Amino acid sequence: MTDYTALGNAIKTTLQSDSWVGNTANVKTVETHKRGFSIQDEKDARFFSPSDLPAIAIVPNGEAKQQEPGATNEIRETIPAQIIGVTRHRDAQSGLIVHHTLVANIERVLDKQKSSSEDLGIGGFVREANTTEEQFKKGEYYYFISTTSAQIELTVNF
């Protein structure tokens, strides 16, 4: 059985251990749940308030996992986790550059976790990661939201 809390915490710890992502000047908030990102109403408790940004939300069970039998008493699981980056900026071009820097650093950290020697610390490693993004304007700010989907491979003993 997959321990999604442990997986979310492992991804969070890995990201925060990085000198760039873990620096609060670059990323103010890292959480292991998805708030919903309702930019329409800033009173919505699920929304990252402007003081939280730039922010990262980690969703350890972003989609359905896949399982295949391994050796006796173990199952190899592939779990699609999501790492969601949220930034805002007054200028669209400058904001996009800042956001792409955040995405590049998230992907760099995940890429380092692709070998068993540099795993996530729970016997899991990243098989692949890819990112999609969206942007929109609200008031005088542009908001940038990227979703990095990481395929995490875990071996679970039972």
Q: Are 90 and 50 in contact (CB under 8 A)?
A: no
- Return d(Cα 126, Cα 128) in angstroms, integer: 6
Helices 92-111, 4-17: crossing angle, 10 deg rounding: 110
How far, in Å, CA of 108 to CA of 18, rounded?
10
pLDDT digits (tens, 9 = 90+) for 91-142: 999 999 999 999 999 999 999 888 766 677 787 888 889 999 988 888 899 9
3 state SS of 97: helix
Which residues have CB under 8 Å from 72's CB, separation 6+?
Answer: none
Which one-letter DSSP state was computed for residue 123? S
Residue 93, number of CB atoms within 10 A of its CB: 9
Token readout for 93 is 């071009």
pTM: 0.85
Amino acid at the residue 11:
I
Q: Which residues contact 107 (CB under 8 A, 6 or more apart)?
A: 129, 131, 148
Q: What is the pLDDT of residue 46?
A: 41
- Domains of the chain are 4-157 (3.30.2000.30)
Is there a contact between 119 and 7 (Cβ–Cβ < 8 Å)? no
The residue written with tokens 């930034």 in the block is: 87
The 10s digit of each residue's pLDDT in 46-97 is 467 888 999 999 988 877 778 777 667 778 888 899 999 999 999 999 999 9
